[in-house]
């Protein structure tokens, strides 16, 4: 899970994933700052770290990256997504499940806008599907 600013989206994602109560899921949160990381940890993540170096070190170890689509865009989230973070996310081998939220000056063609709770439901459903395929 990767988020920035206050970690509000990450908090909602952590709560939704933690509610699956599946021992195969370890929720590792990566915040662009300490506040985002702390908020996501408080919401039920297993462990977390902050900053570009943490992102670069942890992403090669994960199976799935979850977060807003902005995590793939250098300088997104008011500059919190550094070019290094965007590069680490986009080039890591993990499956990326990205929420198509508004990104400044980016229009995602073919994507209908849905409320965040609906997007989180879709994401959780997809993770359940991935888990069941692994059984």
Instruction: Walk along the chain (135 residues) and give the pLDDT tens digit of each residue.
Output: 899 999 999 999 999 999 999 999 999 999 999 999 999 999 999 999 999 999 999 999 999 999 999 999 999 999 999 999 999 999 999 999 999 999 989 999 999 999 999 999 999 999 999 999 976
The angle, 0 to 180 degrees and rounded to 10, between the axes of the packed helices 34-42 and 8-18 is: 30
pLDDT in the model for residue 19: 95
Q: What is the pTM of this model?
A: 0.93
For the chain, the domains span: 2-134
Length of the chain: 135
User: How many CB atoms sit inside 10 A of residue 10's CB?
Assistant: 29
């Amino acid at each position: 899970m990767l988020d920035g600013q206050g970690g509000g989206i990450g908090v909602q994602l952590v709560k939704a994933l933690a509610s699956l109560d599946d021992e195969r899921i370890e929720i590792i949160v990566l915040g662009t700052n300490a506040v985002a990381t702390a908020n996501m940890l408080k919401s039920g993540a297993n462990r977390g770290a902050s900053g570009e170096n943490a992102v670069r070190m942890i992403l090669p170890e994960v199976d799935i990256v979850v977060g807003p689509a902005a995590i793939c865009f250098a300088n997104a989230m008011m500059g919190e997504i550094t070019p290094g973070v965007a590069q680490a996310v986009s080039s890591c081998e993990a499956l990326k499940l990205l929420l198509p939220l508004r990104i400044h000056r980016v229009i995602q063609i073919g994507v209908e806008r849905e409320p965040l709770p609906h997007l989180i439901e879709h994401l959780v459903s997809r993770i359940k599907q991935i888990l069941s395929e692994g059984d």
